[in-house]
């Protein structure tokens, strides 16, 4: 039995050890980093939840959708292109789920716009029908193998706001050339003239791209101040400085609506010799550029969020300013949204110099949402805390003069209500009545105040230079302190100490006798308790 018991204990101990080891190992495995799945860090914009598809053409029909596209018809004067663009079905057709732009050899062709050539091709665009400012634009395409072809997917301004090309810009999402099927380039053009322009072309590296005759996706993510170019969902080029040679169009030209273009050029200086003369590749015609789809994504409209504006004077003034700015009706106490506040750029919230305190702004909470403000004036208000303004990075003009603050205290030293944009305490100007409490930083000390229990007004001034955004301002004003201090209590007389005496006081003997009686009883109680404990122990031992 003893052996069995020991064996059982041993099994229990072994099982406990195994379970403990499993817990330790399992816990260690649980804390190991998980390997990211391949492709998790790819950067294609439509996977961005802030974007949504706003337009597209999947080319699933049997003809070109004229609500989306128009034909470009005629000759092309750029780069000695040798073809004439036609709207004939043999040059532009929709079949097999694709838009097909087809280049053909047509000797002796007469073309308009003073251009003649022996080749025809297709060119479609969305001008005046579909155009956008900012977004992600993508097409899935397969390019021809003919060595004299120059296919392109690109964008142009719907209206030449800054003037003719290149003043109003051009975005080349992709250009390839049949003379080198491993070549793909993205570019943008802008400037004051064809001879004085800028462009930032990038040819994707051959280890990242090959064989344009196979299906690939080509796209550009266009945001304010930036163009990011993608091939097969991977970013390969970025342009983020659009400064014009004469700087007059900044931040243009890439801040206006652009439309889409798809074309298949034949010949021209973009193609490598000898294939820039398409007559050297006649045997390779027809040449077809196929487009599976074109899609446009833009950022989802923001859902406005309510902004907490607890100061009723500020809320009233903001609603009045927004009504004038937006041309809408606003009640004085209407809830204000962040989108509305972002529409404000110039804001005058001055109070009258003699306005009562209850008609002055005292709390700036809520103004932090007006992040596009460039000019702000808050003179003659009751502002003590500038922290809500700290994030207004666009400010270039700011007025914070002549604030009037009311405070009260019933102690000699009290907390200062004055805060700069970073939340630091602002010192007051020391005077004979009030000073900064050096022993207690952040507090103000009253010097020799009247202590009669009645309220007395003490005035403190302050002035501090502050910078918010690029705006420098003087934050100044008066702090009216109502001090109500009680007079210090008068010292109370202390009782005389009792002189020790050898005289026996009445009752002393009786008190001593009582003490002795109590002591004797306690001894007896202890003896009885000890005996009882001893007897109980004997029974237990038996």
Mean pLDDT, residues 480-485 taken together: 95
Instruction: For residue range 361-372, list pLDDT tens digits in order.
Output: 999 999 999 999
Q: Is the pLDDT reported for residue 6 higher than 90?
A: no
Question: Pick the residue with more confidence: 184 or 502?
Answer: 184
Q: Is residue 167 exposed (0-12), middle (13-18) or buried (19+ Cβ within 10 Å)?
A: buried
d(CA 521, CA 144): 121
Instruction: For residue range 501-520, list pLDDT tens digits in order.
Output: 444 444 444 444 444 444 44
Q: 362 by DSSP, 3-state: which?
A: coil
CATH 2.60.40.1220 location in the chain: 306-484
At residue 162 the predicted structure's pLDDT band, cuts being 50, 70 and 90, is: confident
pLDDT of residue 10: 44
Q: Is the pLDDT reported for residue 537 higher than 60?
A: no
Phi and psi dihedrals of 529, rounded to 5?
-60, -40
At residue 461 the predicted structure's pLDDT band, cuts being 50, 70 and 90, is: very high
The fraction of the chain above a pLDDT of 90, given in percent, is: 63
Question: Pick the residue with more confidence: 243 or 253?
Answer: 253
Q: How many CB atoms lie within 10 A of CB 65?
A: 14
pLDDT of residue 23: 33
Mean pLDDT, residues 3-24 taken together: 40
Q: Is the pLDDT reported for residue 76 higher than 90?
A: no
Mean pLDDT, residues 333-345 taken together: 95
Please, are residues 319 and 331 in contact by the beta-carbon 8 Å criterion? yes
Q: Is the pLDDT reported for residue 197 higher than 80?
A: no
Element (H, E) at 210: none
**What token pair was written down for 152?**
């392109």
Q: Is the pLDDT reported for residue 156 higher than 80?
A: yes
Question: How confident is the prediction for the chain on average, in pLDDT?
Answer: 83
Chain centre to alpha carbon of residue 95: 44
Residue with tokens 């300013």: 321
**What token pair was written down for 438?**
């050096």
Question: Pick the residue with more confidence: 51 or 36?
Answer: 51
Mean pLDDT, residues 433-440 taken together: 96
CATH 2.60.120.200 location in the chain: 51-299
d(CA 365, CA 297): 36
Please, are residues 268 and 150 in contact by the beta-carbon 8 Å criterion? yes
**Fold type of domain 306-484:** Immunoglobulin-like (2.60.40)
pLDDT of residue 109: 81
Three-state DSSP string of 49-110: CCEEEEEEECCCCCCCCCCCCEECCEECCHHHCCEEECCCCCCEEEECCEEEEEEEEEEEEC
Mean pLDDT, residues 71-88 taken together: 84
d(CA 139, CA 522): 105
pTM over 0.75: no
CA dihedral sign of residues 46, 49, 52, 57:
positive
At residue 74 the predicted structure's pLDDT band, cuts being 50, 70 and 90, is: confident
Q: 447 by DSSP, 3-state: which?
A: coil
At residue 28 the predicted structure's pLDDT band, cuts being 50, 70 and 90, is: very low
At residue 291 the predicted structure's pLDDT band, cuts being 50, 70 and 90, is: very high
Q: Is the pLDDT reported for residue 47 higher than 80?
A: no
Residue with tokens 């899609």: 295
pLDDT of residue 280: 92
d(CA 230, CA 252): 22
Q: How many CB atoms lie within 10 A of CB 311?
A: 20
Partners of residue 457 on adjacent β-strands: 482
- The domain defined by 51-299 carries CATH number 2.60.120.200: yes
Element (H, E) at 325: helix 312-326
At residue 113 the predicted structure's pLDDT band, cuts being 50, 70 and 90, is: low
């Amino acid at each position: 039995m003893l052996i069995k018991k020991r064996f059982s204990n041993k099994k229990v101990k072994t099982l406990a050890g195994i379970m403990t080891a499993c817990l330790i190992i399992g816990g260690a495995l649980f804390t190991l980093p998980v390997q990211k799945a391949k492709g998790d860090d790819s950067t294609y914009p439509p996977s961005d939840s802030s974007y949504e598809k706003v337009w597209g053409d999947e080319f699933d029909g049997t003809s070109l959708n004229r609500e989306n596209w128009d034909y470009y018809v005629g000759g092309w004067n750029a780069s000695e292109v040798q073809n004439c663009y036609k709207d004939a079905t043999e040059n532009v057709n929709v079949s097999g789920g694709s838009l097909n732009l087809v280049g053909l050899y047509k000797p002796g062709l007469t073309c308009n716009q003073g251009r003649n050539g022996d080749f025809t091709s297709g060119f479609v665009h969305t001008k005046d029908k579909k155009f956008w400012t900012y977004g992600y634009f993508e097409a899935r395409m397969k390019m021809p193998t003919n060595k004299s072809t120059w296919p392109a997917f690109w964008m142009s301004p719907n209206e030449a706001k800054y003037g003719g090309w290149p003043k109003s810009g051009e975005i080349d999402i992709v250009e390839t050339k049949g003379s080198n099927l491993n070549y793909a380039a993205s570019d943008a053009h802008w400037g004051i003239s064809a001879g004085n322009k800028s462009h930032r072309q990038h040819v994707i590296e051959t280890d990242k791209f090959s064989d344009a005759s196979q299906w690939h996706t080509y796209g550009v993510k266009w945001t304010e101040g930036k163009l990011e170019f993608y091939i097969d969902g991977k970013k390969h080029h970025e342009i983020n400085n659009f400064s014009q040679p004469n700087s007059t169009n900044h931040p243009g030209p890439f801040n206006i609506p652009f439309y889409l273009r798809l074309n298949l050029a034949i010949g021209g200086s973009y193609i490598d010799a000898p294939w820039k003369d398409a007559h050297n590749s006649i045997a390779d015609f027809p040449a077809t550029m196929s487009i599976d789809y074109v899609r446009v994504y833009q950022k989802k409209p923001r859902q406005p969020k309510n902004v907490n504006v607890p100061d009723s004077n500020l809320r009233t003034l903001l609603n009045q300013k927004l009504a004038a700015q937006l041309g809408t009706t606003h009640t004085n106490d209407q809830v204000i949204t962040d989108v509305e506040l972002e529409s404000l750029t110039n804001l005058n919230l001055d109070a009258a110099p003699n306005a009562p305190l209850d008609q002055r702004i005292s709390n700036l909470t809520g103004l932090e949402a007006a992040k596009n403000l460039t000019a702000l004036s808050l003179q003659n208000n009751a502002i003590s805390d500038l922290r809500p303004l700290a994030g207004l990075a666009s400010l270039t003009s700011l007025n914070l003069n002549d604030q009037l603050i009311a405070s009260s205290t019933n102690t000699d030293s009290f907390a200062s209500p004055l805060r700069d944009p970073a939340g630091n305490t602002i010192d007051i100007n020391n005077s004979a009545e009030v000073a900064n409490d050096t022993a207690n930083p952040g507090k103000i000390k009253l010097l020799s105040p009247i202590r009669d229990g009645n309220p007395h007004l003490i005035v403190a001034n302050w002035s501090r230079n502050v910078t918010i955004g690029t705006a420098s301002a003087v934050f100044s004003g008066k702090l009216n302190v109502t001090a109500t201090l009680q007079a210090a209590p008068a010292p109370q007389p202390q009782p005389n100490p009792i002189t020790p005496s050898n005289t026996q006081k009445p009752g002393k003997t009786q008190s001593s006798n009582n003490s002795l009686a109590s002591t004797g009883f306690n001894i007896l109680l202890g003896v009885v308790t000890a005996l009882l404990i001893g007897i109980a122990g004997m029974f237990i031992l038996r």
